[in-house]
Amino acid sequence: MYKPKQVGAAASINMWDAHVNKANSSPVQAREYKRSSYELVSDKIMADRIRNGETIGQPYLKGETKKRLKKFQHLSEEDFDKYGKQE
């Protein structure tokens, strides 16, 4: 049976992911979102946790997410060293 509420929730999640991906695609896009009062704080929160050596999820320690954090949040390889080899 079709339940519009579930479809609406799924569409909402996909829209959020689209906004996150667009804002994280380049510094220019990130500035545009910031200028329009739209701010993505999840990467900033994770970058602060990495700098402080706090527990974070595995996806933030490798691959494209790690590259994005290094590029846009100005993390260095030394910040990731405390988590050991992940790739």
pTM, whole model, 2 decimals?
0.54
pLDDT on residue 9: 52
Structure tokens at 28: 């220019």
pLDDT on residue 40: 59
Over residues 11-35, the pLDDT tens digits come to 555 666 776 777 777 777 777 766 7
Q: Output the furthest CA–CA distance in the chain (Å, rounded).
A: 52
Beta strands in the chain (DSSP E): none
Distance of CA 41 to the CA centre of its chain: 8
Which residue ranges make up each domain of the chain? 4-81
Nearest to 72 by CA among 36, 38, 46, 35: 46
Distance of CA 62 to the CA centre of its chain: 12
